[in-house]
Chain A
Amino acid sequence: KQEVTQIPAALSVPEGENLVLNCSFTDSAIYNLQWFRQDPGKGLTSLLLIQSSQREQTSGRLNASLDKSSGRSTLYIAASQPGDSATYLCAVMSRNYGQNFVFGPGTRLSVLP
Chain B
Amino acid sequence: EPEVTQTPSHQVTQMGQEVILRCVPISNHLYFYWYRQILGQKVEFLVSFYNNEISEKSEIFDDQFSVERPDGSNFTLKIRSTKLEDSAMYFCASRTSAFKGETQYFGPGTRLLVL
Residues of A participating in the B interface, judged by any CB pair closer than 8 Å: 31-32, 34, 36, 41-44, 46, 49, 51-52, 89, 91, 93, 95, 98-106
A91-B31 in contact (CB<8A) = no
| Interface presence of B106 (CB below 8 A) | yes
On whether the beta carbons of B109 and A43 are closer than 8 Å, the reply is yes
Residues on B lying within 8 angstroms of A by beta carbon are 31, 33, 35, 41-45, 48, 55-56, 58, 89, 91, 100-101, 103-109, 111
**Contacts A44-B106, A104-B42 given; 7 further ones with Cβ under 8 A?**
A36-B106, A52-B101, A89-B43, A95-B100, A100-B35, A101-B45, A106-B42
Contact across chains for B43 and A98 when beta carbons are under 8 A apart: no
Minimum distance in angstroms from A1 CB to a CB of chain B: 11
Partner of B103, one of A42, A43, A46, A52: A46
Which of A43, A95, A99, A106 touches B106 (beta carbons < 8 Å)?
Answer: A43
Q: Which of A44, A89, A93, A100 counts the most chain B CB atoms within 10 A?
A: A100
Q: Is the CB of A101 within 8 A of B104?
A: yes
Chain A contact surface mostly: strand
The answer to whether B103 and A41 have CB atoms under 8 Å apart is no
SS class, residues of chain B in contact with chain A: strand
Contacts of B101 in A (CB 8 A): 31-32, 51-52, 93
Cβ-closest chain B residue relative to A46: B103
| One of B55, B56, B58, B111 near A41 (C-beta < 8 A) | B111
- Contact A101 B35, beta carbon cutoff 8 Å: yes
The answer to whether B109 and A100 touch across the interface, beta carbons within 8 angstroms, is no
Chain B's closest residue to A94 (CB) is B100
Q: Is the CB of B109 within 8 A of A99?
A: no
* Chain B residue at smallest Cβ distance from A99: B100
A23 to chain B, nearest CB (A): 13
Pick from A41, A44, A52, A105: contact of B91, CB under 8 Å: A44
Name 29 A/B residue pairs within 8 A (Cβ), A-sorted: A36-B106, A41-B89, A41-B111, A42-B108, A42-B109, A43-B108, A44-B106, A44-B109, A46-B103, A46-B106, A49-B103, A52-B101, A89-B43, A93-B101, A98-B45, A98-B56, A99-B31, A99-B55, A99-B100, A100-B33, A100-B35, A100-B45, A100-B48, A100-B58, A101-B43, A101-B45, A101-B104, A103-B43, A106-B42
